[in-house]
Amino acid sequence: MKRENHLAIEINSQTLMILPCCAEKEPGGSADYKESLSKYISHDSYGLIIETRKNILSNLRQINKYTTDKYSKNKHIKAGMDFGGINSTGKYIQAIDRYTGSLYRAVEDFPDLVRQSLEKRNSPKIIILSALYGPLHPFDMIQDYNLQMSDKPAYTSWKITFAFFLREYVIRNKINQILLYLGQKTSYFKVVKSAIQKLKNVNVIYFDVKNGNSYHTPHNHGLLISKHLGYSRSVSFTRKIDRNL
């Protein structure tokens, strides 16, 4: 562990920002499906992600808990191309618009801020880690669902697959810096932590939000992401650099 500091962070095309998904989601969507993640990894790696999603979806359908009560929307997930299937009746929205929790609404027009950043030259890479979908490019189209990374079908699967994904993503895209906007007590952080331990020659920076809780931590992470993408607004945080998460 290196000493905590508050030096400015240089963010460029070799920077990867990892965000968590959230429980709050925009409903509905259209039948149009597109994805962007496969442009950044090999065909085999993308196939592994699709296979993992497919297995998680299959497991959900076999366990009553994950299709009733707060999980009832999972009954309506279609086995479309996002799960390696051929069903074309699913309703899709880009991930950056689907998620509507406090991180994604920390500043006005947060989705547009992300879009504008990704269109700039030398922009950082951004990955959203989803409990159902795993790693997502913000422009990937996804269906509505309810699943947390702490749920067993998600955690046990992505802890393995995400490590393979991240290693290749870092190499293929020449990533030398990873910024984590994840609560350190969450399963999302644990999945990423396990994957990062297998990397070499990459600076890993994560942020402690002062007086953080289940709402304020993602909200302030959203403010911090916005600041790193060029939005001017102050937020109180502690920067930590750790090569051995």
**Predicted local confidence at residue 232, as pLDDT:** 61
Q: Read off the pLDDT of residues 158-187 as tens digits, 9 standing for 90 and up.
A: 999 999 999 999 999 999 999 999 988 899
Q: Read off the pLDDT of residues 100-139 as tens digits, 9 standing for 90 and up.
A: 999 999 998 899 999 999 998 889 999 999 999 999 999 9
Confidence at 91, pLDDT banded by 50, 70, 90: very high
**Predicted local confidence at residue 235, as pLDDT:** 47
Domain ranges of the chain: 15-241
State how far the Cα of 218 lies from the Cα of 212, in Å rounded to an integer. 8
Residues 6+ apart with CB under 8 A from 66: 59, 60, 74, 147, 151, 153
Pick the more confident residue, 241 or 224. Answer: 224
**Predicted local confidence at residue 200, as pLDDT:** 86
* Residue 6 pLDDT exceeds 60: no
Q: Read off the pLDDT of residues 31-80 as tens digits, 9 standing for 90 and up.
A: 999 999 999 999 999 999 999 999 999 999 999 999 999 999 999 999 99
Share of the chain above pLDDT 90, in %: 77
State how far the Cα of 76 lies from the Cα of 66, in Å rounded to an integer. 12
**Predicted local confidence at residue 210, as pLDDT:** 58
* Residue 211 pLDDT exceeds 60: no
What average pLDDT does the chain have? 89
**Predicted local confidence at residue 198, as pLDDT:** 83
Element (DSSP H or E) covering residue 142? strand 141-142
**Predicted local confidence at residue 214, as pLDDT:** 56
Confidence at 8, pLDDT banded by 50, 70, 90: low
State how far the Cα of 153 lies from the Cα of 132, in Å rounded to an integer. 9
Pairing, β 177-180 against β 203-209: parallel
* Residue 5 pLDDT exceeds 50: no
**Predicted local confidence at residue 108, as pLDDT:** 87
User: What's the per-residue H, E or C state across 62-74?
Assistant: HCHHHHCHHHHHH
* Residue 96 pLDDT exceeds 60: yes
**Predicted local confidence at residue 149, as pLDDT:** 97
